[in-house]
């Protein structure tokens, strides 16, 4: 009950902040005009965002491969795209659940399937932290302090250590011991598996995923206002920070609200507020359109393959 109240408080607070920001800058927002080049840029941003989600599905197959579970790439990219839209449902876990069920139906062990969907957000968080550490000083209003810099590196080190095989294998063995105790009378033995190497390839893949998503956001801003080359690190760093908070903060399915509030807070001192508000609103629509298009295309491709 307390958890539900906390989630509603977060959602209510973010919606209040967004509503106030929109109210304060409404006249400036409606004054923004998008020309033909801008609409073309937004179409490209949608395509890049769709490419990012398709790439994310491919990375999931890499993670399963690291868990010694080779899978058909095209089939699992389809699963990833079809389940991706479910993250907007209350609870923010149904896309993970759908992937676990699909993986188990493909004769992948429940442990490997579950671990694959747990590893993905960890690797995404590590990738976002890498970008934040690289470009975090670009979007801070005040000069970054040594303490904050140390905190960034410590956070990154903790996440990178969390996906190290030594720690992951300890966690896997612990979980399997618990399962074994609960299944004493079960004639079918529970066999644990080990991760043999650091998931460097999936980590670099998730870094590419964040760069693609950030590129879609930068193109959205560019469609509304000129963007200089020296502002790209600022936008990429701010996007990664906002995206990461949307990933980890509870109560906001798909990061809805949290991403927008964070992006406004980080960019309103560097770009006109109306541009920032318009860009994050349009980018949210672009993300939903890209995810819906990806799910639809995956469903159509599956139907054509089975016909």
pLDDT of residue 23: 60
pLDDT of residue 238: 92
Confidence check: pLDDT of 187 > 90: no
Q: What would the two tokens of residue 290 be?
A: 């890209």
Q: CA dist 218 to 226, 236, 261, Å?
A: 10, 7, 17
Domain ranges of the chain: 71-163+198-302
Region 153-159 average pLDDT: 81
145: its two tokens: 């302090």
Give the single-character DSSP code of 230. G
**Phi-psi sector, 91: left (phi>0), alpha (psi -120 to 50), beta:** left
- Quote the pLDDT of residue 157: 84
Residue 298 has pLDDT above 50, yes or no: yes
Residue whose entry in the numeric block shows the structure tokens 């490419």:
51
pTM here is 0.84
pLDDT value of position 189: 45
Distance CA 140, CA 284 (A): 23
The model's confidence at residue 137, banded by pLDDT at 50, 70 and 90, is low
Contact between 57 and 76 (Cβ < 8 Å):
yes
Task: Kindly list the distances between the CA atom of residue 253 and the CA atoms of 7, 104, 183, 294, in Å, as whole numbers in the listed order.
Answer: 10, 25, 35, 18
Number of residues assigned to the chain:
307
> What's the mean pLDDT when you consider all of the chain?
81
Lowest mean pLDDT among 13-22, 92-101, 123-132, 192-201: 13-22
Distance CA 119, CA 290 (A): 24
Average pLDDT over residues 256-274: 85
Q: What is the DSSP code (8-state) at residue 257?
A: T
Short-list 189, 217, 224, 274, CA closest to 34: 224
Instruction: Give the Cα separation of 209 and 129 in Å (integer).
Output: 13
Long-range pairs for 36-40: beta carbons < 8 A, 24 or more residues apart: 37/223, 38/223, 38/224, 39/223
Whether residue 144 has pLDDT greater than 80? no
């Amino acid at each position: 009950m307390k958890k539900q109240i906390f989630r509603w408080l977060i959602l209510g607070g973010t919606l209040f902040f967004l509503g106030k920001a929109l109210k304060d800058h409404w006249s400036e927002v409606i004054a923004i005009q998008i020309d033909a080049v801008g609409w073309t840029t937004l179409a490209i941003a949608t395509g890049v965002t769709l490419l990012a989600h398709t790439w994310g599905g491919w990375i999931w197959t890499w993670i399963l491969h690291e868990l010694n579970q080779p899978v058909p790439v095209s089939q699992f990219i389809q699963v990833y795209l079809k389940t991706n839209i479910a993250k907007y449902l209350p609870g923010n876990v149904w896309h993970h659940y759908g992937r676990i069920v699909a993986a188990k139906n493909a004769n992948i062990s429940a442990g490997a399937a579950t671990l694959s969907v747990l590893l993905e957000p960890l690797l995404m968080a590590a990738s976002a932290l890498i970008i934040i550490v690289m470009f975090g000083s670009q979007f801070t209003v005040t000069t970054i302090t040594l303490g904050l810099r140390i905190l960034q590196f410590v956070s990154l080190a903790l996440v990178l250590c969390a996906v190290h095989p030594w720690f992951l294998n300890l966690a896997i063995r612990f979980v399997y011991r618990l399962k074994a105790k609960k299944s004493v009378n079960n004639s079918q033995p529970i066999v644990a598996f080990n991760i043999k190497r650091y998931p460097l390839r999936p980590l670099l893949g998730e870094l590419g995923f964040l760069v693609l998503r950030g590129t879609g956001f930068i193109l959205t801003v560019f469609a509304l206002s000129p963007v200089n080359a020296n502002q790209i690190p600022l936008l990429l760093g701010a996007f990664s920070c906002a995206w990461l908070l949307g990933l980890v903060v509870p109560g906001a399915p798909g990061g809805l609200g949290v991403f927008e509030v964070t992006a406004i807070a980080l960019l309103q001192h560097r770009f006109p507020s109306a541009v920032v508000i318009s860009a994050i609103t349009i980018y949210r629509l672009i993300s939903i359109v890209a995810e819906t298009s990806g799910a639809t295309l995956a469903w159509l491709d599956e139907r054509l393959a089975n016909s």
